[in-house]
Amino acid sequence: MKKIIVLPPEISQKIAAGEVVERPVSVVKELVENSLDASANEIRVELLSGGKKMIRIQDDGLGMNREDALLSFERHSTSKISREEDLLQIRTLGFRGEALPSIGAVSRVTLKTSDGDEEKATQIEREGETVLEILDIAYPRGTSVEVKDLFFNLPARRKFLRSDQAELGMIVKYLTYVSLAYPEKRFSLIHGKREILNCPPVASLRERIFQLYGKSLLEKLMEVDYEEKEGRIQGFSSRPPSGRHDKTHQLFYVNRRPVRDKILQGALNQIYRGFLERDLFAEAFIFLSLPYSDVDVNVHPAKAEVRFSDSQYVFQLVVKSIEKAMLKERGIKEIYPVAEELKREFRIGEKAPSPAFRIPGEGKIEAQELFPLPKKEEKPSVQVLGQYLETYIVVSREDGLLVLDQHNAHERVLFEKYREIDEKKVWPQKMALIPLLFELSPSQALSLESNQTLLEEAGFRVEAMGGRSFALKEFPDIFQAEEAKNIFLFLLEEMKEEKVTDKRERLLATLACKTAIKAGEHLSREKMEYLVEELFKTANFSLCPHGRPIIVKIDRSEIEKGLKRTPNWR
Ligand code: ADP
Ligand code: MG
């Protein structure tokens, strides 16, 4: 071992900064929190290159006098707490006095601020740890923090930043998230010359959801409001059977602080499990209010998580609030027994039957292992016996019985077809007679921007109509108009993640899933025979494009064993 040394402040500051400032969105988050803590009514965010070149946050909050402005960059300098006991009752978003020093350590900062009392406002120019200049300026009450060249002195960090579009996407997501908690304030976001978000003050969360997501989302939500003892849950949550195919639209707030929380999320998903189709999850905006002393916000470096003194209580509170909201929706007075009544009301699709057969290789089926491909000339003597539970197709074969999931099977068949069309680049197109109008949230609009070419290649042509409105002008022939619109919106969500490695495959898989027959659909014998035949023509017929199995097999030998037949009875 080398000898131990105490790191010089230039290095230790950078290490500490790493805890707070990971990427542009962390800077935006800390600065917006400061503006909110300073009681600002208007918060304006400007960015260049996804925040990598420049982030400027301007507010009309309480501002600072010269002395405080200079102090604010010192580590652990804060106006928000002063005694140890204060940590048990934190009402502000910030409290550690770490954000400004951390941001300052890894960028070039210009702070302009005025508390409206002092004659001269203050401007401070910094570069890393060095103060370059302190100036008297004229400035209205409020604060502007401009952060340039993030990580200019930390190339290792800079290397890990993603594309402008990706960094911007995270910032849009964060601002959407936080602005939902403060509908009474104005938030705006400008990227380069483009205004991406502009939310003037509104009177309620409902209106803020409308501003950000439009009418279509609001229509799928029900209001939640439940109070018990000292806790209260408010917000909006999916009205079954509405839901979405992933959990990305589940936003939680504790005392108006945006948080990620396993307990809240777990409770939400547990209660919805009985009310939504198998692959759907609730969309939810859940605001939990608790006494400040019952929540520890000092548990996560970026304050993104909290700890509850009684998590069981919090869990129950969420469950009860959703139950109550559902009952209210259906006009049902009595609270218990909830589940049976509600399930009947919402006509829940039947549960997936528990697998009665053993799947070799624990669910991971190799096509070859299960179904050694018949040699070319040999006809696979399969015969469709019928449909089971309007969900499965039962097929007999020399060596046993096959049970096919009709949706997954059709999905695989369509996927191969679409792939063929896609390779030939001949997606049939249909002009929309009446352009199909819809509204996009800021993050959906971004997704459209980055995926437009791909979507156009697949036959979806969209035109901007100003503001958040867009029109679908052309779509693939295989869809009805309304269906095309829904699928298009779904694709936008699917392709939001920049990381998705093969977007094209994903797009085709989604199209296949959306157009395939569903579980619960009655199929004629001809249809089943056609489907089985088409399926066995595909190369990979044991897994659907999403990787779910298509077929289970009951071996003839197993049947014989179970029925105590000698194997060669015939
Ligand atoms: P914290 O928010 O944890 O107190 P920060 O480093 O973020 O720590 O900020 C330090 C102090 O600077 C804050 O406590 C506050 O007094 C002051 N400050 C920072 N930003 C603003 C702002 N936008 N308006 C007014 N005061 C601010
Ligand atoms: Mg702060």
Site to probe by mutation for ligand 1, drawn from 36, 39, 72, 106 as the one with most ligand atoms within 8 Å of Cβ, is 72
The ligand 1 site (C-beta within 6 Å) comprises 30, 34-35, 37-38, 59, 61-64, 72, 77-80, 94-100, 143
pLDDT at position 93 is 94
The pLDDT-based confidence of 360 (bands split at 50, 70, 90) is: very low
pLDDT tens-digit map of 248-280: 889 999 999 999 999 999 999 988 887 888 788
| CATH class as words, domain 427-515 | alpha beta
The single-letter code of the amino acid at 503 is K
376 pLDDT higher than 50: no
Mean pLDDT to the nearest integer, 17-45: 94
Name the residue with the closest Cα to ligand 1, atom 12. Answer: 72
Fold of the 357-413+520-562 domain:
formyl-coa transferase, domain 3 (3.30.1540)
The single-letter code of the amino acid at 254 is V
Task: Please state, in angstroms and rounded to a whole number, the distance separating the CA atoms of residues 464 and 487.
Answer: 18
The alpha carbon torsion through 201, 248, 283, 471 (nearest 10 deg) reads 70
Give the distance (Å) from ligand 2 centre to CA of residue 96. Answer: 7
* 12-16, 160-164, 376-380, 388-392: the lowest-pLDDT one: 376-380
* 327-331, 339-343, 398-402: the lowest-pLDDT one: 339-343
> Of all atoms in ligand 1, which is nearest to the CA of residue 78?
14
Give the distance (Å) from ligand 2 centre to CA of residue 138. Answer: 24
Name the residue with the closest Cα to ligand 1, atom 8. Answer: 97
Mean pLDDT to the nearest integer, 89-108: 93
pLDDT at position 344 is 46
Task: Please state, in angstroms and rounded to a whole number, the distance separating the CA atoms of residues 532 and 395.
Answer: 9
Mean pLDDT to the nearest integer, 449-461: 85
375 pLDDT higher than 80: no
> Of all atoms in ligand 1, which is nearest to the CA of residue 77?
10
pLDDT at position 54 is 98
Give the start-to-end residue ranges of the domains of the chain: 9-199, 220-346, 357-413+520-562, 427-515
> Of all atoms in ligand 1, which is nearest to the CA of residue 59?
23
The single-letter code of the amino acid at 341 is E
Fold of the 220-346 domain:
Ribosomal Protein S5; domain 2 (3.30.230)
346 pLDDT higher than 60: no
3-state secondary structure of 500: coil
pLDDT at position 115 is 96
* 57-71, 182-196, 434-448: the lowest-pLDDT one: 434-448
pLDDT tens-digit map of 456-489: 888 888 888 777 888 888 888 777 777 788 888 8
Tell me the average pLDDT of the chain: 84
Pairing of strands 250-254, 194-199: unpaired
Task: Please state, in angstroms and rounded to a whole number, the distance separating the CA atoms of residues 543 and 548.
Answer: 5
425 pLDDT higher than 80: no
Give the distance (Å) from ligand 2 centre to CA of residue 168. Answer: 21
Mean pLDDT to the nearest integer, 312-338: 77
351 pLDDT higher than 70: no
Residues 6+ apart with CB under 8 A from 421: 427, 428
Counting other chains too, the contacts that 524-533 makes at CB distance below 8 Å and 24 or more residues apart are: 525/384, 525/386, 528/384, 528/386, 528/387, 528/393, 528/406, 529/384, 531/393, 531/404, 531/406, 531/409, 531/410, 531/413, 532/382, 532/384, 532/393, 532/395, 532/404, 532/409
Name the residue with the closest Cα to ligand 1, atom 26. Answer: 63
Task: Please state, in angstroms and rounded to a whole number, the distance separating the CA atoms of residues 340 and 382.
Answer: 41
- Which ligand does the CA of 97 lie closest to? 1
Task: Please state, in angstroms and rounded to a whole number, the distance separating the CA atoms of residues 60 and 37.
Answer: 11
* 141-145, 268-272, 352-356: the lowest-pLDDT one: 352-356
pLDDT at position 567 is 61
Give the distance (Å) from ligand 1 centre to CA of residue 121. Answer: 16
Torsion angles phi and psi, residue 66, rounded to 5: -55, -45
Give the distance (Å) from ligand 1 centre to CA of residue 38. Answer: 8
pLDDT at position 32 is 98
The pLDDT-based confidence of 339 (bands split at 50, 70, 90) is: very low
What tokens does 213 get? 């997501």
Torsion angles phi and psi, residue 475, rounded to 5: -150, 160
559 pLDDT higher than 70: yes
pLDDT at position 467 is 77
- Given a contact cutoff of 8 angstroms between Cβ atoms, the answer to whether 104 and 73 are in contact is yes
pLDDT at position 68 is 95
pLDDT at position 29 is 97
3-state secondary structure of 410: helix
15 pLDDT higher than 70: yes
Please give the span between the terminal C-alpha atoms of the chain, in angstroms, as a whole number.
78
Give the distance (Å) from ligand 2 centre to CA of residue 32. Answer: 8
pLDDT at position 202 is 94
Mean pLDDT to the nearest integer, 191-202: 92
pLDDT above 90 covers a percentage of the chain that reads 46
369 pLDDT higher than 60: no
Q: Which superfamily does CATH assign the domain made up of 9-199 to? A: Histidine kinase-like ATPase, C-terminal domain (3.30.565.10)
The pLDDT-based confidence of 332 (bands split at 50, 70, 90) is: low
- Given a contact cutoff of 8 angstroms between Cβ atoms, the answer to whether 488 and 455 are in contact is yes
pLDDT at position 8 is 82
pTM higher than 0.95 for the full model? no
The single-letter code of the amino acid at 233 is I
